[in-house]
Amino acid sequence: MTFENIEFREPLVYAVKHKNMDVRMNSRSGGFFTSISDLFINDGGVVYGCVLDNNLDAVHMRATTQFERDRMMGSKYIQSNIGDMFKKVRYDLDSGKRVLFTGTSCQVAGLLNYIGDDNSKLFCVDIVCHGVPSPKVFHNYIQWQEINMKSKCIGFDFRNKKEFGWNTHIETLNFANGSKVNSEIFKNLFYAHQCIRPSCYSCAYKSILHPGDITIADYWGIDKAAPGFDDNKGVSLVLVNNRTAERLFHSLTDIEVRKCRIEDSMQPPLEAPFPEPVNRSEFWDDLNCRDFGYVAAKYGNNDAIHKAKHMIKKLLRKSLY
């Protein structure tokens, strides 16, 4: 576990909305990532984050312009391939550049371990992370939808906020023949948890303490934490973990901010890892041996997700108390 960046007993908590509505609509939450990454790019620094490439693979990339950075906006709910980005971060730091690295808490912890103590020009933002679904499941799903639609999938929005609002979770697939599909199947598979990485069931970062200088999330519970702030266009929960981060946070001028309390801002991934579902191996056997349509009907429908949620709640209650 890597918690060297933490100076506060508990983080300072803020609700944040980017002042530019286009930024907010292209971001998963309130657009805090764009605000902080602009600060580094405008100062000649480098930003690392996750993009969905042309093959619909989630990969980490390096950006020095807003154009390159914009591809990192929005959540890709699959494991991102980190490639040789840690080496590139090392090279940028050795060249005297300021670096912003963004990713899951375990990616940030891995980077901090790799870089070691010589990291005064490195700033890390981690995301509150539900768990990462397997890219294999995602690609099997895409292939199945391509067969159904008789066309290649050329775009995937994991959570289409523009059409359905911030609170709703509907994915949208765009196809080469101009058609599109709105669906909840991949979301349901994600939330049923059989397809997330095994290490996510024992994630060390399911608490209010995180390895990043700043930690960001969707601000679930915003109505209680900052009444009147939500407009269903997205609000970021921002946890500030040390003094350097506090100074940097207060230098941002393109965001609207409300100070909040941690006890009004809790969500399950800030408390404990999700337990491994009892039918995880059955799911993987089905995925490897059966048609994806069978898997979608058995694990990706709304009934399956209600059952899974009920089971998760029961198991979580057991593990928390």
Ligand X SMILES: Cc1cc2nc3c(=O)[nH]c(=O)nc-3n(C[C@H](O)[C@H](O)[C@H](O)COP(=O)(O)OP(=O)(O)OC[C@H]3O[C@@H](n4cnc5c(N)ncnc54)[C@H](O)[C@@H]3O)c2cc1C
236 in contact with ligand X (CB under 6 A): yes
Count of residues touching ligand X (by CB under 6 A) = 34
283 in contact with ligand X (CB under 6 A): no
Q: How far apart are CA 216 and CA 125, in angstroms?
A: 7
Closest among 197, 193, 222 to 15, alpha carbons compared:
222
Nearer to ligand SF4, 69 or 193 (CB): 193
Which stretch, 4-12, 22-30, 134-142, 202-210, contacts ligand X (CB under 6 A)? 22-30
265 in contact with ligand X (CB under 6 A): no
Say which entry of ligand X, ligand SF4, none residue 105 contacts (CB below 5 to 8 A, set by partner kind).
Answer: ligand SF4
Q: How far apart are CA 178 and CA 186, in angstroms?
A: 21
280 in contact with ligand SF4 (CB under 6 A): no
Residues 79-108 that bind ligand SF4 (CB under 6 A): 104-106
| 108 Cα distance to chain centroid | 13
Closest among 151, 166, 157 to 219, alpha carbons compared:
166
**Residue 282 token pair:** 């059955």
**Residue 297 token pair:** 């009907």
**Rg, C-alpha atoms of the chain:** 19
145 in contact with ligand X (CB under 6 A): no
Q: Least distance (Å) from ligand SF4 to the CB of residue 79?
A: 7
- 52 DSSP β-pair partners: 58
Amino acid at the residue 210: H
Binding ligand X by CB under 6 A: which of 15, 153, 216, 222?
Answer: 216
The answer to whether 58 touches 49, Cβ cutoff 8 Å, is no
Q: Which residues bind ligand X (CB under 6 A)?
A: 27-34, 49-50, 58, 72-78, 80, 102-104, 127-130, 132, 216-218, 220, 236, 267, 269
Q: Which residues bind ligand SF4 (CB under 6 A)?
A: 104-106, 129, 131-132, 197, 199-200, 203, 205
